[in-house]
Amino acid sequence: MLNYETISDNELAELLRSGDRGAFTEIYNRYKWLLHSHAYKWMQDREEAKDIVHELFVALWTKRESLSFPDNLSAYLYTAVRNRIFNVISHQKVASQYLNSLQAFIDEEQGATDHLVREKQMTLLIEKEIAALPVKMREVFELSRKEQLSHKEIAIQLTLSEQTVRKHVQHALKILRAKLGLMAFLFLISH
């Protein structure tokens, strides 16, 4: 029976390639703590380091026949752990960027949604106050602001003088400004 503890790394690698479980166990026992320490230095998370080392040894066993080890098994294992660490860090960075962009999108959408809600509330308030205007004044005002007709076009359509149309619009604006306040009034004239 072989004493695996006395066998060199190169011989263990050859035995591993041929499917020798004892060689695999010896490689594991020889390097697991060193590789774990190396992974922990980078990750600062014991569970993450343990997972990295575990995944390395699983891959080492499942791909044993196709692996070509250099002259130095320990260098191969350290390089393999380092590559896995870089993959995890890269994945974490991508995940973090994704989460940050998702949060920014949510924040932006929340802001847009809040803005739309406020705009809708403001529009309803303005519509309520316009509906409270005297009938002829409201009709003139709506043709002016909603239909965007000129004073002359409104005068022709309603058989009024341009002066009367102008007065109705001015009075409507004065009433709405008084009832709605400056912010709502500015919103009204900008839309």
Which of the listed residues 43, 75, 99 is the one where a domain comes to its end? 99
In a domain, residue 136? The reply is: yes
Q: What is the pLDDT of residue 53?
A: 92
DSSP 17-49: HTT-HHHHHHHHHHHHHHHHHHHHHHH--HHHH
Tens of pLDDT, residue by residue over 96-145, are: 666 667 667 666 665 556 666 677 777 777 788 788 888 888 898 888 87
Q: Report how many domains make up the chain.
A: 2
Q: What is the pLDDT of residue 26?
A: 92
Amino acid, res. 149: L
Residue 86, CB-side half-sphere exposure with 13 Å CA sphere: 6
Which of 22, 29, 31, 16 is closest to 2 using CA atoms?
22
Which stretch, 44-58, 75-89, 101-115, 137-151, has highest mean pLDDT? 44-58
Tens of pLDDT, residue by residue over 59-80, are: 889 988 887 766 788 888 988 8
For the cut 90, the answer to whether the pLDDT of residue 43 exceeds it is no
Give the range of the structural domain holding residue 23, as residue numbers without chain letter: 4-99
Which of the listed residues 55, 78, 99 is the one where a domain comes to its end? 99
Q: What is the pLDDT of residue 24?
A: 92
Q: Verify that 90 and 146 share a domain, yes or no.
A: no
